Structure 1
Amino acid sequence: MIATVVWGTGNVGRAAIRAVDAHPALDLTGVLVHSPGKVGRDAGELGGLGRELGVAASSDIGAVLAAGPQAVVYAASGDIRPTEALADITRAMRAGAVVVTPALYALYDQRNAPPELREPVLAAVADGGGSLFVSGVDPGWGNDVLPLLISGLGTTVDVLRCQEIFDYSTYDQPDSVRYLIGMGQPMGYTPPMLMATVPTMVWGGQIRLMARALGVELDEIRETLERRPLEDTVRTRTMGEFEAGTQGAVRFEVQGIVGRQPRIVIEHVTRIHPSCAPDWPSPPNGVGAHRVVVEGRPRIEVTIEATDEGENRSAGGNATAVGRLVGAIDWLADAKPGLYDALDVPLRPALGKLGRRQR
């Protein structure tokens, strides 16, 4: 069994606790938290399992890493603290751990990551013998391995499009929804996530990764952006009221340009209420979905809906992204120490999980 620590217990960390507990090759040995109110609480409670796992949450990073875990699921946010996230991750790698995380966007395509990010990671590999695999929560598989797999079914491919389509009214993360994405803010407010070049910083690595897999040369990466205001004030179950006239929907694309045309596209369509921008793509269930569209011959469209934590499709997206990361741990543990991306790490069947109950 691979001794595994989950670092962070937010939307991603909750799903990570459940995924590690369910994995037949992993043993949850520690949980790291930042909030004093979570210290000492059982991992099963924090993960929403409804039963205890006998692992108490700790805020003592040094003590948890000194116990020598073989793997760490780094589930703490890197959105507004990338420097701190990098320091945490390299610290775990220097302790000899395999680390999987969605926190460092630029390492989606690790071969073309900035030297100031890549070099500290490679130094940590050399110092401690750990490994790192980064994949997104949007989810990563929806912007790399799935579209690449589906593209191979076509005779010709004109455009490869990946879509995330979500109503964020059920997403319990107000700081990200209100301030990073800007829902409920005046239309004159420019959300950090929508500033020029930021979408490319976040999703450009996946565009480059797919281009590399498809054997094409990118001319450039472009961005498009549309925003719509709410026509009426709406109230959400998890995040309260969003006023009429404030931002209610966002649609943007990160486009990989090949031969002067957008050929590889990652598109996000997000709303705080289904009444906003009804002419934009909507998920079949009205809540959320991920979709891959291959424009070519034949035209292929695949839509995936995932549900977790009751009927929460946002949590389902987190859970499948976490499943990709946690499912890679035993492969990484057997591989040589290094820095890996989605083209390196295979997406494997649910070996040993079929019909298995959580421990």
Structure 2
Amino acid sequence: MIATVVWGTGNVGRAAIRAVEAHPALKLADVIVHNPEKVGRDAGDLAGLGHGLGIAASDDVDAVLGAGPRAVVYAASGDIRPDEALADITRAVRSGAVVVTPALYALYDQRNAPAEFREPVLDAIADGGGSLFVSGVDPGWGNDVLPLLVSGLGTTIDAIRCQEIFDYSTYDQEDSVRNLVGMGLPMDHEPLMLAPSIPTMVWGGQIRLMARALGAELDDIRETVQRRALDTTVTTRTMGDFAAGTQGAVRFEVQGIVDGEPRIVIEHVTRIHASCAPDWPTPPDGGDGAHRVIIEGRPRIEVTVEATDEGENRSAGGNATAVGRLVGAIDWLVDAEPGLYDALDVPLRPAVGRLGRKQR
């Protein structure tokens, strides 16, 4: 059994605890938290399992890493603290652990990552013998392995489009929804996530990674952004009111330009309520979330994935599938040589030993 630590217990961390506990090759060893109110609480309680796991959450990073875990799922956010996240992750890698995380956007395409992100990780690997695999939580598989897999079913490929369609009204991360994405803020306010170059910073690595896999040479990476205001005030269960006239929906694209045309596109369509921008793409059944891959070519291929978790919550379902990809890679990474890996290196693997397995 591979002793595995989950670092962080937010939206991603809750799913990570459940995924580690369900994996037959892994054993949950510790949980690291930053919130003092979570210290000492049972991991099963923090993960919403409805029963204890006998693992008390700790804020003592030195003690947890000093115990020599073989793997760490780094589930703390890197959205507004990339330097701190990089420091935490290199610390875990230097301890000799295999680390999987969605937190460092710059390392989605690690071969072309900026030196200030790549070199500290490579130094930590050389010092401690650990490994790192970064894949997105939006989810990563929807912007790398799934479109690439589906592209292999086509005869000719004109363009690949990866869509995330998401209703934030059930999302439990108010700071990101309001301040990063700008939901509920005035239309003349430019939220950080939509500022020029930021979408490319976040998703450009996945564009480059897909281009590399397809043997395509990118001319450029471009961005488009559209925003819509709420017609009426709406109330959400987790975040309260969003006023009429404020931002209620966003649609943006990160476009990989090949031969002068957008050939590899990652598109996000996000709303705070289904009533806003109803003419934009929606999930097939009118639900609150879906991930879609469209291969334009011959034949035209369209694949839509909908996942739910924590009841009928599709935002949690997206997190859970992204976490499944990361946690499912741990035993492969443990057997591989120490190194810095990306989605083209790490195979997508079946759920060996988990068919019919009940979560304790």
**TM-score, normalized by length of structure 2?**
0.99
* Aligned position for 1:85: 85
Matches of 2:215 and 2:244 in 1, distance apart? 47
Q: CA deviation at 1:170?
A: 0.5
* Aligned position for 1:346: 347
Matches of 1:287 and 1:119 in 2, distance apart? 39
Matches of 1:87 and 1:34 in 2, distance apart? 15
What are the Cα deviations for residues 14-55 of structure 1, in whole angstroms up to 9, with x where unaligned? 000000000000000000000000000000000111111110
Question: Percentage identity across aligned positions?
Answer: 82
Aligned: 1:211 with 2:226: no
* Aligned position for 2:4: 4
Q: CA deviation at 1:164?
A: 0.1
Structure 2: state its 5+ residue gaps. none
What are the Cα deviations for residues 157-199 of structure 1, in whole angstroms up to 9, with x where unaligned? 1010000001110111100000100000000111100000000
* Aligned position for 2:303: 302
Structure 1: state its 5+ residue gaps. none
- After the TM superposition, which residues 131-146 of structure 1 pair with which residues of structure 2 at under 5 Å, given as runs? 131-146=131-146
Matches of 2:232 and 2:49 in 1, distance apart? 38
Report SS of the residue matched to 2:161.
Answer: strand
Report SS of the residue matched to 2:309.
Answer: coil
- After the TM superposition, which residues 317-328 of structure 1 pair with which residues of structure 2 at under 5 Å, given as runs? 317-328=318-329
Paired residues, number? 359
What are the Cα deviations for residues 80-121 of structure 1, in whole angstroms up to 9, with x where unaligned? 000000000000011100000000001000000000110000
- After the TM superposition, which residues 143-292 of structure 1 pair with which residues of structure 2 at under 5 Å, given as runs? 143-285=143-285, 286-292=287-293
- Supply the AA of the counterpart residue of 1:282: T
Q: CA deviation at 1:156?
A: 0.7
Matches of 2:55 and 2:288 in 1, distance apart? 34
- Which runs of at least 4 in structure 1 moved beyond 6 Å after TM superposition? none
Matches of 1:89 and 1:235 in 2, distance apart? 37
Report SS of the residue matched to 1:248.
Answer: strand
- After the TM superposition, which residues 60-99 of structure 1 pair with which residues of structure 2 at under 5 Å, given as runs? 60-99=60-99
Matches of 2:312 and 2:319 in 1, distance apart? 13
Report SS of the residue matched to 1:331.
Answer: helix
Matches of 2:99 and 2:359 in 1, distance apart? 23
Matches of 2:27 and 2:167 in 1, distance apart? 35
Matches of 2:105 and 2:56 in 1, distance apart? 30
Q: CA deviation at 1:315?
A: 0.1
* Aligned position for 1:32: 32
- Supply the AA of the counterpart residue of 2:183: M
Q: CA RMSD in A?
A: 0.5
* Aligned position for 2:111: 111
Matches of 1:330 and 1:166 in 2, distance apart? 31
Q: CA deviation at 1:358?
A: 1.2
Report SS of the residue matched to 1:330.
Answer: helix
Matches of 1:355 and 1:170 in 2, distance apart? 29
Matches of 2:52 and 2:12 in 1, distance apart? 19
- Supply the AA of the counterpart residue of 1:281: P
Matches of 2:179 and 2:297 in 1, distance apart? 38
**TM-score, normalized by length of structure 1?**
1.00
What are the Cα deviations for residues 124-174 of structure 1, in whole angstroms up to 9, with x where unaligned? 000000000000000000000000000011111101000000111011110
Report SS of the residue matched to 2:218.
Answer: coil
